[in-house]
Structure 1
Amino acid sequence: MSGRRAWVTGAASGIGAGVARRLTDLGVEVVRIDHDGERLEATGRDLPIGAEAVRLDVTATGAVVEHVAGLDRDRLPDILVNCVGGDTRRIPLTDLTERDLTEAMTANVLGCFTLTRLCVPAMCERRWGRVVNLASIAGRTYSIFSNAAYVAAKAAVIGYTKQCAYELASSGVTVNAVAHGPIATERLLAARREMDPRRREDLMRRLPMGRYGTVDEAVGAVVHLCGEEAGYTTGCVVDVNGGLHIA
């Protein structure tokens, strides 16, 4: 993978930050993208000088289009990892609003959709490319942590992944997703601390491995799909959930 160029969104924290770090360690030229400039700077302090940071809200389509249009073709990525997502609030179905659904789709689908369609043409020209989208176990089944709007958004990410994989299969570009279960990111651990202790214990009992996954375990699945050895893997949804969902 040395010499490849990767863009990683959501790279200021969590799985995105871990993916950016691991790819950098493997010799990939990484562009870390996030709307949170301060955290982006903080997580990049011990990365090589060449690990570029770009403050960009990937849900702002006009800004994304303008950014990509301003770059030379050879600066577009060989590897695109779409890690932006969120909105894991627990909201009962009967309390969900149209706004909740719009916000969930914007946070989880829009940036992935926009960056993929803008970056894939250059990959096709090179006859080599990797796109990896962060989905969730929620998009495969249901969520014990979140709400129906979030589940619908992650299911959309999986559907988009599969259709892109089909359309690009002959181009040398693979498109895959990682559907992770509960991963011990800062966000999840903060939410866990606010839970009622009884609910915390109940959730832990539901996990077959009896623990949350680590960020490194999620990162490993993503990075594998970015590599040469995953060249015959496309349209795949890799489950990283400790047995919580076994397809």
Structure 2
Amino acid sequence: MTARHDVALVTGAGSGICAEVARGLAARGLRVVLLDKDAEAVHRVADGLGDRLARHPLVADVTDPHALASAVDSLAPQHRPGVLVNGVGGDTRARSVTELTEADLQEAVTHNLASVFTMTRLCVPAMVAAGWGRVVNLASVAGRTYTRFSNAAYVAAKAGVIGFTKQCAYELAPHGVTVNAVAHGVIGTERIRRAWEDKPPQWTADRVSHIPAGRFGSVAEAAGMVCHLCGEDAGYTTGTVVDVNGGLHI
């Protein structure tokens, strides 16, 4: 079974950056398969895509590999994605390593790294069979260096996403499949704004002051680079980590 160049599967598509990625890919003419564990949210996004929706959304938790396997197996041949965006992840808990436990590390790895591994493993064989594919993984500036916004368990997981991206890029390049990562900085998603809304103004101002651009990135700015790496004209770009962070890490 081979993948379709004109079909994209986006995980975490119910909100934030990935919902915008789904809309951006649809605007570029792709048919989109949405996946999210929040059925209500992902169906709202689906309603806005109209006839660019490839099929009904897949409702599954990316931390459950069996649920992901069932979801991918349910795709008809005409819905096999040639483009995969692994977008689930994140951790807004700014905690010291001395406060973390092994359970925190396991949660971070399962949510941010294992889900990328599972979705890639499930979707890439059809891309290899087609001789063409695009995989874009959402990493983080945290995986490039350190973080003032989260914690060491999250940094470790996102660094793992970057390493996984590079190895997959090396292995899959001969088959016409590119694998890249986008390392976002602080993006003004609803989730981030909710996480920070109870912080003192000086706490937020201090963190923004470390961003050379002096502001959060927009969701549209965050999604734009992801969409570019999904395109035909990104075929000679693989194994890269593209920084979208307002100069936070240069």
Taking structure 2 as the reference length, the TM-score comes to 0.95
8 Å CA contact retained: 2:137, 2:165: yes
Instruction: Kindly indicate whether residue 86 of structure 2 is the aligned counterpart of residue 87 of structure 1.
Output: no
8 Å CA contact retained: 2:87, 2:138: yes
Map of 1:43 onto structure 2: 45
Instruction: Kindly indicate whether residue 132 of structure 2 is the aligned counterpart of residue 108 of structure 1.
Output: no
Does the residue aligned with 2:48 lie in a helix, a strand or coil?
coil
Does the residue aligned with 2:50 lie in a helix, a strand or coil?
coil
Map of 1:4 onto structure 2: 6
Q: 2:184 aligns with which of 180, 204, 207?
A: 180
Summarize the alignment of residues 1-247 of structure 1 with structure 2, pairs less than 5 Å apart.
4-51=6-53, 52=55, 53-246=57-250
State how many pairs are aligned: 245
Amino acid at match of 2:228: H
Deviation of 1:58 after TM superposition, in Å, equals: 1.6
8 Å CA contact retained: 1:88, 1:150: no
Deviations 1:118-140 (A, max 9, x none): 11111011110000000000000
Looking at structure 2, the residues matched to 71 and 126 of structure 1 have their Cα atoms a distance apart, in angstroms, of 16
Does the residue aligned with 2:127 lie in a helix, a strand or coil?
helix
Deviation of 1:245 after TM superposition, in Å, equals: 0.4
Regions of 4+ moved over 4 Å: none
Amino acid at match of 2:192: L
8 Å CA contact retained: 1:73, 1:122: no
Does the residue aligned with 1:78 lie in a helix, a strand or coil?
strand
Deviation of 1:13 after TM superposition, in Å, equals: 0.3
Does the residue aligned with 2:183 lie in a helix, a strand or coil?
strand
Which moves more between the two structures, 73-82 or 104-113? 73-82
